Amino acid sequence: MTGVNREIHLASRPDGWPTGENFRLVETEMPKPGPGQLLVRNQYMSVDPYMRGRMNDVKSYVPPFRLDAPLDGGVVGEVVASEADGFAPGDVVLHGLGWREYALVDAGSARIVDPGLAPVTAYLSVLGMTGLTAYAGLLEVAGMRPGETVFVSAAAGAVGSLVGQIATLKGAARVVGSAGSAAKVERLTALGFDAAFDYHDGPVRHALKAAAPDGIDVYFDNVGGDHLEAAISALRPHGRVAICGMIAHYNAAEPPAAPRNLALLIGKRLTLRGFLVGDHGHLRDEFVREMSGWLREGRVSYDETIVDGIENAPAAFLGLLRGENLGKMLVRL
């Protein structure tokens, strides 16, 4: 394999909202696999909100992206050359070196997926980390039980839309979602949410009160800020919050001051718990079995927003942060 490879580098660290200037498209030489390595032609790459955190130079649960080096993240692609046992050209693999057209992957970091069982993009979304995040956060971290009322923010996003559907399938009495446009609210209703609102239409606490007048038991947080404050006010005794993300905080120069009502945690005996999907790998088999069944039976739907071309990957990521996606945001390479 010869020719030119293209990849996206981090050109500078964003201060607040990122812009196109923070990224650089770089042409590099086509890599050659050494022993135990694969050369993969990447087909679909994931852009995710958590990547914003990695653009800052701070210690966190994953190391920050390096300047003048390619970004990385979840991706599926086709093996074009293999120097590793168990992998052959034509295999479709899931691995972690996105943000580039071709990737040199250690075989131990790649997992073969079956494009006959599900579209390859599903391994990045509904059947992959995205789906497991929704499943583990709702059922294990928040411990949702049948008969409870569940609220999820960024509900038209990849994780949020699955949280709402899983909640209903697992017996929630009422599922409420918030989203950022009328079209998204309409989509949530179509997905089976019992109530949904556009958070631009007024204070979240008012909208949530109207959507769940008797309160909520579980809040799946993707947003933070005023959403979290409103949820804390709406939670019933012994309510739980699974904190998956706080997208309202990621680009704020000053972190949002809310929630100001944390003292309610005491009297209502509330639990707030942050989580990372990586701690919940023990649920993967159960999750894949259940989710595959729901997909087969047509009981779960998932949306994808697909942007074409590696040169547009930064724009796809910026669009994700602005909420321009419905469901999973992917880049086709």
Nearer residue to a second copy within complex by CB, 261 or 312: 261
CB nearer to a second copy: give 109 or 271: 271
CB of 66 to a second copy, least distance (A): 18
How far, in Å, CA of 95 to CA of 217, rounded? 36
- Please state, in angstroms and rounded to a whole number, the distance separating the CA atoms of residues 253 and 247: 13
Which residues, including other chains, have CB under 8 Å from residue 42's CB and lie 6 or more apart? 75, 76, 77, 97, 98, 100, 101, 102, 103, 333
Closest separation in Å from C-beta 28 to a second copy: 31
Q: Which is nearer to a second copy, 104 or 252 (CB)?
A: 252
Angle between helix 225-234 and 204-211 (nearest 10) = 40
Least Cβ distance, residue 16 to a second copy (angstroms): 15
What's the min distance (Å) between Cβ of 265 and a second copy?
3
Evaluate whether 180 touches 322 at the Cβ level (below 8 Å): no
Query: Could you tell me how many residues make up the chain?
Result: 333
| Residues 99, 44: Cα–Cα separation, whole Å | 10
Token pair 């770089």 is at which residue?
26
How far apart, in whole angstroms, are the C-alpha atoms of residue 283 and residue 251? 32
Please state the closest distance from residue 280 (CB atom) to a second copy, in A. 10
Rounded-to-integer distance, Cα 313 and Cα 23, Å:
9
User: 90: alpha, beta or left, given left = phi > 0 and alpha = psi -120 to 50?
Assistant: left
Beta carbon nearer to a second copy, 269 or 282: 269
Tell me whether residue 21 or residue 214 sits nearer to a second copy (CB atom).
Answer: 214
Paired tokens of 174: 């009422």
In order, the DSSP letters of 151-215 are: EESSTTBHHHHHHHHHHHHTT-SEEEEEESSHHHHHHHHHHT-SEEEEGGGS-HHHHHHHH-TT-
Question: At its nearest, how many Å lie between a second copy and the CB of residue 65?
Answer: 15
Evaluate whether 14 touches 298 at the Cβ level (below 8 Å). Answer: no
CB 176, min distance to a second copy, A: 22
Which lies closer to a second copy via its Cβ, residue 129 or residue 333?
129
Q: Which residues bind a second copy (CB under 8 A)?
A: 53, 60-61, 224, 228, 237, 243-246, 249-250, 254-276, 279
Q: Least separation, in Å, of the C-beta of 281 and a second copy?
A: 14
Select 261 or 292, whichever has its Cβ closest to a second copy: 261
Of 171 and 255, which CB lies nearer to a second copy in the complex structure? 255
